[in-house]
Amino acid sequence: MAVLVTGGAGYIGSHMVWALCDAGEEVVVIDRLSTGFRWAVAPEARFYEGDIADRELLQRIFAENRIDAIIHFAGSIIVPESVADPLSYYENNTAKSRALIAAAVEAKVPHFVFSSTAAVYGTPDTADPVEETAPLRPESPYGASKLMTEIMLRDTALAHDFTYTALRYFNVAGADPRGRTGQSTKGATHLIKVAAEAVLGKRQGMDVFGTDYPTPDGTCIRDYIHVSDLANAHLKALERMRAGGGSIVANCGYGRGFSVLEVLNRVKEVAGVDFPVRISGRRPGDAVSIVANPAVAMQELNWQPKHDDLAFIVRTALDWEDHLARRNQI
């Protein structure tokens, strides 16, 4: 059987495709290449260029391949952009996911893994690592658009022969330790990626968005997870569903948080390079602090982190940025 990866030419999706190929899976990718890159897709995978809401294309993909699982990454992922343009987030993330889920049900694809996000929680009531049962109060259209998809999946699983795993990603960073793929999108906004660009001199320093948050150093706290560990959680989810496990929602993070300033200091330390940091105002849609409790992933999915060292995450991100610079793909 084959696995269909939506958004398989993107940052996390392309890691997933390599991880599936490494695990001996047959892989099919659909990506419209709006932010992803054809070269990022492992050559072993079968590639279809197009939109996940294109019903005819999906019918063709299901007819041409024996797909028993979909791993759904395609979507928009930038919190402040979602605040500025909410309807495109409800279109790309919610409406198109609905179309994909409908096509999956129609084609009787039994298993579905969904890229959800910690943004569904908003800012939790306490500084403790957040559990999946915590209140769901997204603070951005991005978080809301993903939560709506989780709700559609829950209701679809109740009505049809359909099992899903929603993985709530915390802050994904780093690159393939073997250097095959990494975060390559232009105009990056994610903290470690932006810092890596500053190290390489691709930008003149960077901004810290808000130093007046109620945290020890005043900057926001996040749980940064290495992209390969995240891809591995998807493999475990697939394995579990194929073995008959039911639908489940699981956090993907390590259970420890770093502030923005701590991350930037670590980047400077690992790179051995200093770069200018400007203190700017708060960015719309940012939650104050969000750290995962990964117990469900560890117990139910049998997931074990392998790269939970911030310096390693940063090192692989820097290596990838260096690789991009040498390929002149900045």
Catalytic residues: 142
Distance, in Å, from the CA atom of 149 to the CA atom of 116, rounded to the nearest integer, reads 8
Closest approach of ligand GDU to the CB of residue 221, in Å = 8
Does 79 contact ligand GDU by CB under 6 A? yes
Closest approach of ligand GDU to the CB of residue 24, in Å = 29
Closest approach of ligand GDU to the CB of residue 284, in Å = 10
| Residues paired with 145 in a beta bridge | none
Among the listed residues 208, 235, 252, 318, the single contact to ligand GDU using CB under 6 A:
208
Distance, in Å, from the CA atom of 71 to the CA atom of 165, rounded to the nearest integer, reads 9
Does 238 contact ligand GDU by CB under 6 A? no
Among the listed residues 76, 97, 117, 163, the single contact to ligand GDU using CB under 6 A:
117
* Concatenated DSSP letters of 158-174: HHSS-EEEEEEE-EEE-
Does 190 contact ligand GDU by CB under 6 A? yes
Where in 273-312 is the site for ligand GDU (CB under 6 A)?
A: 283, 286, 290
Among the listed residues 20, 167, 206, 301, the single contact to ligand GDU using CB under 6 A:
206
Does 137 contact ligand GDU by CB under 6 A? no
Radius of gyration of the chain (CA): 19
Nearer CB in complex with ligand GDU: 69/208: 208
Does 81 contact ligand GDU by CB under 6 A? no
Does 220 contact ligand GDU by CB under 6 A? yes
One-letter amino acid for residue 5 of the chain: V
Does 153 contact ligand GDU by CB under 6 A? no
Among the listed residues 112, 114, 170, 254, the single contact to ligand GDU using CB under 6 A:
170
Contact between 213 and 253 under an 8 Å Cβ cutoff? The reply is: no
- Both tokens of residue 205? 């320093």
Nearer CB in complex with ligand GDU: 62/213: 213
The residue with its CB nearest to ligand GDU is 220
Distance, in Å, from the CA atom of 142 to the CA atom of 324, rounded to the nearest integer, reads 28
Distance, in Å, from the CA atom of 303 to the CA atom of 182, rounded to the nearest integer, reads 22
- Three-state SS annotation for 81-137: HHHHCHHHHHHHHHHHHHHHHHHHHHCCCCEEEEEEEHHHCCCCCCCCCECCCCCCC
Please report which helix (H) or strand (E) contains residue 69, including its range: strand 67-72
Phi, psi values for residue 154, rounded to 5°: -60, -50
Interface residues with ligand GDU (CB under 6 A) are 77, 79, 117-119, 169-171, 189-191, 194, 206-209, 220, 222, 260, 283, 286, 290
